[in-house]
């Protein structure tokens, strides 16, 4: 009986829960009070756990807001990422940090700005080398201002069928016109290539034109953030559609030191490490590669049952990863 009750879950109104309650009542009438109490405790814990689980599964979208899907495969045109999964702890140069904070502060103060006929920066373009934090910056903004985070799925947007790509774009922007969120167009260059490039004709040119018009008319209550590694390939007309264009550079010496020490903050590190020397060796590394070096060094120390990360661990990790620095 106990094993059976441990496998029961559901809401209070579910038939199986009602049957279980009846069994508990029958056991009480038979004089099996201790068993009945134990079964009741198991059932109550399972019902509570079920409620908690269902709450986590609840969509973050408000009632009436639906993420549209593509016509062919029924794939959502954007992916909703839960707040707990947003990356938001970053190490950025002071100038970049100031610019991103300005975006956050303007959004928070949007009603005060509106009182004076002013609008916050709403359409942002981040550009820079891969692995330097462009997408993470968008996630961090969503985290700090408390908005849901949606990532556009270009693999679902782009269709080989005539007219469907443009239709998908329109559907997505239309569905979110009254939904406050941070909408990320990651690797924006994938779709917004220069119309004069000569590499794409016809359909893709029409898609770029539609996208430029959607950007021009974008007035949703949230933020739209695009990222690109290749700003030189973007259609020139796209740049004036953005309220702010920010370069996310590779970390300098100071940022590399902060990244290393932050990443290694959960493990003991040798006090004789000269961080400046390590950072100098890693000049030109992306932020993601710096973090990887620190994590690799930490794992090496742990695997060899060494409780402290030494300089040798960092140098070994550096030598193994330097080939990835491009």
CA 234 to chain centre: 23
| Of 5 and 133, more confident | 133
Rounded distance between C-alpha atoms, residue 97 and residue 163, angstroms: 40
Structure tokens, 265: 């903050």
What three-state secondary structure class fits 183?
Answer: strand
Starting at the earlier edge strand, list the strands of the sheet with 182-185: 78-81, 149-152, 182-185, 223-228, 123-127, 244-247
pLDDT digit string (tens) for 168-199? Answer: 889 999 988 888 999 999 988 777 665 554 54
pLDDT digit string (tens) for 17-39? Answer: 888 888 988 888 888 888 888 88
pLDDT digit string (tens) for 281-307? Answer: 999 999 999 999 999 999 999 999 998
pLDDT digit string (tens) for 215-258? Answer: 888 988 999 999 988 766 676 777 888 999 999 999 999 999 99
Residue for token pair 């947007």: 157
CATH of domain 78-247: 3.40.50.300
Q: Rounded mean pLDDT of 47-62? A: 56
pLDDT of residue 146: 92
Say if domain 253-324 classifies as CATH 1.10.8.60: yes
Nearest to 204 by CA among 153, 245, 164, 264: 164
Burial of 77 (0-12, 13-18, 19+ CB in 10 A): buried
* Strand 244-247 to 268-269 pairing: unpaired
The domain spans of the chain are 2-57, 78-247, 253-324
The pTM (predicted TM-score) of the whole model is: 0.76
Q: Rounded mean pLDDT of 128-133? A: 92
| Positive or negative torsion for Cα 214, 170, 145, 111 | positive
Same fold, 78-247 and 253-324: no
C-beta atoms surrounding 126 within 10 Å: 29
Task: Give phi and psi for 149, each to the nearest 5.
Answer: -120, 120
The CA distances from residue 323 to 193, 199, 326, in Å, are 30, 31, 8
pLDDT of residue 289: 96
State in Å, rounded, how far the first CA of the chain is from the last one.
63
123 neighbors 184 (Cβ within 8 angstroms): no
Mean pLDDT of the chain, nearest integer: 86
Cα-Cα-Cα-Cα torsion 69, 74, 79, 81, nearest 10 degrees, comes to 120
Inter-axis angle of helices 134-145 and 94-108, nearest 10: 40
207 neighbors 249 (Cβ within 8 angstroms): no
pLDDT digit string (tens) for 88-125? Answer: 999 999 999 999 999 999 999 999 999 999 999 999 99
pLDDT of residue 19: 83
C-beta atoms surrounding 55 within 10 Å: 8
228 neighbors 130 (Cβ within 8 angstroms): no
pLDDT-derived band at 202, boundaries 50, 70, 90: low
């Amino acid at each position: 009986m106990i094993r059976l009750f441990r496998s029961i879950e559901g809401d209070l109104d579910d038939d199986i829960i009602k049957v279980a309650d009846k069994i508990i009542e029958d056991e009480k009438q038979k004089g099996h009070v201790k068993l009945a109490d134990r079964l009741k405790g198991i059932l109550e814990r399972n019902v509570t756990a079920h409620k908690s689980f269902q709450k986590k599964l609840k969509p973050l979208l408000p009632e009436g807001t639906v993420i549209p899907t593509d016509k062919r495969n029924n794939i959502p045109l954007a992916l909703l990422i839960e707040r707990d999964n947003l990356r938001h702890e970053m190490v950025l140069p002071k100038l970049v940090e100031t610019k991103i904070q300005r975006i956050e502060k303007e959004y928070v103060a949007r009603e005060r700005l509106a009182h004076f006929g002013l609008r916050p920066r709403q359409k942002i373009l981040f550009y820079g080398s891969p692995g330097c934090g462009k997408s993470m910056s968008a996630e961090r903004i969503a985290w700090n201002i408390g908005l849901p985070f949606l990532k556009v799925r270009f693999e679902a947007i782009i269709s080989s069928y005539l007219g469907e790509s443009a239709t998908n774009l329109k559907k997505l922007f239309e569905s979110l016109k009254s939904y406050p969120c941070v909408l990320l167009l990651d690797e924006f260059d994938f779709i917004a290539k220069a119309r004069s490039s000569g590499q794409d004709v016809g359909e893709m040119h029409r898609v770029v034109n539609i996208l430029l018009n959607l950007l021009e008319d974008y007035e949703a209550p949230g933020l739209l953030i695009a990222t690109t590694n290749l700003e030189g390939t973007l259609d020139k007309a796209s740049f004036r559609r953005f309220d702010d264009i920010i370069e996310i550079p590779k970390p300098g010496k100071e940022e590399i030191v902060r990244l290393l020490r932050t990443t290694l903050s959960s493990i003991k590190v040798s006090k004789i490490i000269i961080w400046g020397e390590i950072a100098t060796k890693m000049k030109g590394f992306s932020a993601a590669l710096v973090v990887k070096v620190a994590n690799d060094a930490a794992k090496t120390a742990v695997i060899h049952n060494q409780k402290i990360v030494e300089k040798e661990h960092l140098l070994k990790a550096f030598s193994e990863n330097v080939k990835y620095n491009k």
